[in-house]
Structure 1
Amino acid sequence: MTIRLGYQMPNFSYGQPVRELFPTVVAQAREAESAGFDTVFVMDHFYQLPGLGTPDAPMLEAYTALSGIAASTERIQLSALVTGNTYRNPALTAKTVTTLDVVSGGRAVLGIGAGWFELEHTSYGFEFGTFTDRFERLDEALQIIQPMLRGAHSTFDGKWYHTEDAMNEPRIRDDLPILLGGGGEKKTFGLAARFADHLNIVCNASELPRKIEALHRRCAEIGRDPQTLEVSYLSFVMIDEDGDRVRKQQQDMLSGLGIDLAGLSAEERAQTPADRQFVGTPDEVAEQLQARVLAHGVQGLIINMVTNGHEPGAVDLAGRTLAPLVR
């Protein structure tokens, strides 16, 4: 598996009737595939996230949507960014992603995390528990899921989960990759060092040097060469040939969150969502990502385009701009 350039769709509010929603999703996935992206991601959520919209905004179930995308594409890898462990029994998660792999001809990636959105858990009746609970559960889940993806039967008796000779057939391969996503320097990075093929770091860009150092420490603690763990960074990209247009989109988005960049110092700006946003013309965005992300040893970029990704040609422009940076 290699994820050098991924395209995430976190937003399904396109100002269209619901019947036109999924065709717009498919159009973005196809455009990403032809523009040099190697992986397409959807979120595993039931409600839209704070900062991106209201809870009642459109949100598709991840694995149903990914199967539909699989039928409409040919080469691009398919993943959730990331599967919420708390939403499914781990053996079922292994079965679900393996079925996606079979359906897509070997293109699935299991992106997984501990889960964090309490409102969804409360509304849908999933146990939320404490922060420690959720990471204990993810640790146990990975001990079940990883062997099942590799063709082994799972028998596990833990605090949270139990399996008894759980089988996972059919499989198209025994090396379906595991991606962990998040920014936790101890728990998330520790689990990534133990179980993952790929880590997608979620943080403000100014934090990246510290995050990379922490990841190397987690790898050293278990004797893993950090070069064997692929690393990407999740970034919000607003790109257009008209840089002023997307700068206005950023301003409007941040204003909706009560943030006025013009009144902030550089230190204050680094504490806002703007620190993970890359905005401007193609040349400007490429320069920002090279200097603020890739220069720190990150190999891959996973981008979303919440303001204009659904507009025809936007994903193509991003792919043509960014693919040369990560190849």
Structure 2
Amino acid sequence: MSIRLGYQMPNFSYGVAPRELFPAVVAQAREAEATGFDAAFVMDHFYQLPLLGAPSEPMLEAYTTLSGLAAATERIQLSALVTGNTYRNPPLTAKTVTTLDVVSQGRAVLGIGAGWFELEHQAYGYEFGTFTERFEKLEEALQIITPMLRGQHSTFDGKWYHTKDAMNEPRVRDDLPIMLGGGGEKKTFGMAARYADHLNIICNATELPRKLDALHARCDEAGRDPKTLETSFLAFVIIDEDGDRARKVQSDMFASMGLGDLSKLSAEERAQTPADRQFVGSPDEVAEQIKTRVLDQGIDGIIVNLVTNGHEPGTVELAGKALAPLVHA
């Protein structure tokens, strides 16, 4: 497994009828596959997230969507970024992602996290619990899921989950990759050091040096060489052949979210806002920003979403051609 360049679809608000929605998703995945992206991701949510849109905006169920994409693509890896552990019993998660791997002929990745969106839990009747409880559940889940992905039976008697000789057949391989996603320097990074093949770090870009120091510390505690844990950064990209037009889109988006006038913020103030994880401008400008602010900091790869215009034909290709040379050299 290697994900040096990934493409995440953070929304399905394309202004089209429901019957036209999935073809637009397929078009993006195919465009990503043809342009050098290693993996395509969808979110595992039931409602749209705060700052990205209203809860009532379109949201497709992750694994049904990924299975459809498996039939519509040939090479690109497929994953949720990330699976909410609280939404499924862990053996079912193992079965679901393994089935996706069979359907895609070995292209599935299990991206997984603790879960955090309280509104979804309340609306759908899932127990939300405390922050500590959700991470306790995730650690137990990983102890169940990992052996099931490797062809072993799972018998586990924990605080939250219980299995008895749980089997997981069929499988096309015993090394289906596990990716953790998040920015928690103790819990998430600690579990990544113990269980994961890949860590997608979600934070503001100025925080990356501290995040990497914390990750190396967690690897040391786990007795793991940090070079064996691949890393990526989740970047929000607004790209246009006309860099000024891209910056205008960013400015308008900030105003629409009630975050004020971006042009009036100092560099220190911008670092405390979502703008610090955004990369905006022409293809050359975006590539330089990502190289300097992310890859040169020691991150292995980049997962981008094109939150404002990824569904517009040609936009994914524009990003891929700009970024693939940075990570596939």
Class of the TM-score when normalised by the shorter of the 2 chains: over 0.9
The alpha carbon displacement at 1:36 in A equals 0.3
Q: Deviations over 1:235-274 (max 9, x none)?
A: 0011111111111111111111222112211111100000
Moved more, 26-35 or 235-244: 235-244
**Distance between the aligned counterparts of 2:167 and 2:301, measured in 1?**
33
**Distance between the aligned counterparts of 1:222 and 1:104, measured in 2?**
33
**Distance between the aligned counterparts of 1:170 and 1:83, measured in 2?**
21
**Distance between the aligned counterparts of 2:37 and 2:253, measured in 1?**
25
Moved more, 258-267 or 83-92: 258-267
**Distance between the aligned counterparts of 2:97 and 2:50, measured in 1?**
27
Residue 153 of structure 1 is matched in structure 2 by: 153
Alignment of 1:165-244 (within 5 A): 165-244=165-244
Residue 301 of structure 1 is matched in structure 2 by: 302
Moved more, 44-53 or 237-246: 237-246
**Distance between the aligned counterparts of 1:86 and 1:256, measured in 2?**
32
Residue 290 of structure 2 is matched in structure 1 by: 289
Instruction: State the 4+ residue runs in structure 1 displaced beyond 4 angstroms.
Output: none
- 1:105 partner amino acid: Q
Q: The residue matched to 1:60 in structure 2 has which SS?
A: coil
Q: The residue matched to 1:152 in structure 2 has which SS?
A: coil
**Distance between the aligned counterparts of 2:19 and 2:153, measured in 1?**
41
**Distance between the aligned counterparts of 1:72 and 1:216, measured in 2?**
39
Q: The residue matched to 2:27 in structure 1 has which SS?
A: helix
Residue 318 of structure 2 is matched in structure 1 by: 317
Moved more, 76-85 or 16-25: 16-25
Residue 21 of structure 2 is matched in structure 1 by: 21
Residue 113 of structure 1 is matched in structure 2 by: 113
Q: The residue matched to 2:109 in structure 1 has which SS?
A: strand
Moved more, 11-20 or 176-185: 11-20
The alpha carbon displacement at 1:116 in A equals 0.1
Residue 268 of structure 1 is matched in structure 2 by: 269
**Distance between the aligned counterparts of 2:127 and 2:102, measured in 1?**
30
**Distance between the aligned counterparts of 2:222 and 2:200, measured in 1?**
20
TM-score by length of 1: 0.99
The alpha carbon displacement at 1:41 in A equals 0.1
Q: Aligned pair count?
A: 327
Residue 71 of structure 1 is matched in structure 2 by: 71
**Distance between the aligned counterparts of 1:262 and 1:27, measured in 2?**
35
Q: The residue matched to 1:2 in structure 2 has which SS?
A: coil
Alignment of 1:127-142 (within 5 A): 127-142=127-142
* 2:93 matches 1:93: yes
Q: Deviations over 1:17-50 (max 9, x none)?
A: 1111100000000000000001000000000000
**Distance between the aligned counterparts of 1:145 and 1:253, measured in 2?**
39
The alpha carbon displacement at 1:177 in A equals 0.1
Q: The residue matched to 2:213 in structure 1 has which SS?
A: helix
Residue 103 of structure 1 is matched in structure 2 by: 103
- 1:266 partner amino acid: A
**Distance between the aligned counterparts of 2:213 and 2:142, measured in 1?**
24
Q: The residue matched to 2:163 in structure 1 has which SS?
A: strand
**Distance between the aligned counterparts of 1:86 and 1:222, measured in 2?**
25
Q: The residue matched to 1:279 in structure 2 has which SS?
A: strand
- 2:307 partner amino acid: V
- 1:196 partner amino acid: A
* 2:42 matches 1:47: no
Q: Deviations over 1:73-116 (max 9, x none)?
A: 00000000000000000000000000000000000000000000
Q: The residue matched to 1:108 in structure 2 has which SS?
A: coil
- 1:269 partner amino acid: R
The alpha carbon displacement at 1:10 in A equals 0.8
Give identity over the alignment, percent. Answer: 79
